[in-house]
Amino acid sequence: MCGVAVVLSLLVASLVLPAFNQLTGKTLGLDELLSLPFLLFSLLTAVLVSLLAGSYPAVVLTGFQPVKVLKGAFKNTGSGKGLRQSLIVFQFVISVTLIICTIIVNQQMGYMLGDKLGFKKDHIIVVERTDLLNRQTAAFKNELARMAGVENFSGSSSLPGQQNFFGISVQKAGTKDFLTGRGVVVDEQYAAALDLRMTEGRFFSSRYPTDSLGIILNEKAVRELELTNPIGTRLTSPDPFLNGPNGDPYFFTVVGVVKDFHFQSLHQVMLLIPS
């Protein structure tokens, strides 16, 4: 039975491997399943399970007389009944635990991949390294606007789910305590393109020239900075790239608060900076 189970498990694993790779973003192949070390490990596991499953009944049965064993005397003893009940309870507990774990994992995957991502991911096409366009960026955007079927377009320094968010530190003007989070440089169409929700204030707009020194926080950053009325709050940064060339500090004004979305984790502080 263990040998058949091993063969069937390898067969099922090979059948669901493409779906597993698509779900997890991995690139596992059949060569890993059919590699010699893994096959030897599977064989060793099957042999070990077989020995463990058969050793206890064999030891117990050797203590009975053959005539009594054939008459089923073992099943009528207290030890035999207790063993059967213990095994049934153990199997039931393992089954319930695995079912609960499966439900939790399924809910978590649905949470991460469903509507609760906090941004729109369907029908989005990503063109990477557009920073190489330099002065041709405006012309590129104009061409996108002329394309049929393009509802919106935006540019940013990072995409949700990527790890290339740069670190950024801010502090309330006049204080010494600063908060470090993840920064993203975005344009004014970023919120509309990803369908981000604003909980307070507004997003960047070219109608407000002062937005060049504006900043947008997520809800997590507002809580960490303990801002009761975040809109209009002035922030400074100890980071040199966010200050003047001669070291003079720039003052950034909070113009909006975006609802937390899974750019990495809801536990991460996020700050949006205008491009």
The three-state secondary structure class of 196 is: coil
Domain identity same for 144 and 249: yes
Q: Phi and psi for 274 in degrees, rounded to 5?
A: -70, 145
Using a 10 angstrom Cβ sphere, with 0-12 exposed, 13-18 middle and 19 or more buried, the burial of residue 235 is: buried
Judgement on whether residues 198 and 227 belong to the same structural domain of the protein: yes
Write the pLDDT tens digit of every residue in 70-129: 666 555 555 567 777 887 898 899 999 999 998 988 877 766 665 567 777 778 888 888
Name the residue type at position 76: N
Same domain, 78 and 214: no
Write down which residue in 117, 144, 169 finishes a domain: 117
Same domain, 98 and 185: no
Report residue 255 as tokens: 């113009």
With contact defined as beta carbons under 8 Å apart, do 162 and 251 qualify? no
Q: 227: closest CA among 205, 209, 204, 201?
A: 201
Per-residue pLDDT, averaged over 55-79, amounts to 64
What distance in Å separates the CA atoms of residue 234 and residue 11, rounded to the nearest whole number? Answer: 61
Q: Which pLDDT band holds residue 274 (cuts at 50, 70, 90)?
A: confident
Side chain identity at 70, as an amino acid letter?
L
Do residues 96 and 152 share a domain? no
| pLDDT tens per residue across span 135-148 | 888 888 888 888 88
Task: Specify whether 112 is located in the same domain as 140.
Answer: no
- State the pLDDT at residue 38: 87
Domain's final residue, options 55, 87, 117 = 117
In this predicted model, what pLDDT tens digit does every residue of 213-272 receive, in sequence order?
999 998 988 998 888 899 999 998 888 888 888 878 889 999 999 988 877 666 667 777
The single-letter code of the amino acid at 23 is L
Residue 51 has pLDDT above 80, yes or no: yes
| 184 and 236, same domain (yes or no) | yes
Specify if 70 maps to a domain. yes
One DSSP character per residue, 245-265 reads TTSPPP-EEEEEEEPP--SS-
Q: Does residue 83 sit in the same domain as residue 150?
A: no
Q: Do 21 and 141 share a domain, yes or no?
A: no
Where in 31-90 does DSSP place strands (E)?
none
Q: Which of 74, 96, 117 is the last residue of a domain?
A: 117
3-state secondary structure of 221: helix
In angstroms and rounded to an integer, the radius of gyration of the C-alpha atoms of the chain is 30
Residue 12 counted as domain residue: yes
Do 221 and 207 touch, CB atoms closer than 8 A?
A: no
Same domain, 167 and 204: yes
pTM: 0.58
Across 42-46, 159-163, 195-199, least confident range: 159-163
Average pLDDT, the chain: 82
Cα gap 163→136, rounded to integer Å: 27
Same domain, 156 and 111: no
Mean pLDDT value across residues 41-45: 90
Q: Is residue 123 in a domain?
A: no
Q: Which residue has the tokens 């070390």?
A: 37
Tell me, yes or no, whether 6 and 42 share the same domain.
yes
Q: How confident is the model at residue 173 (pLDDT cuts 50, 70, 90)?
A: confident
Counting the structural domains of the chain, the total is 2
CB 258 within 8 Å of CB 199: yes
- Give a yes or no: residue 103 inside a domain: yes
For residue 68, the enclosing domain spans 2-117
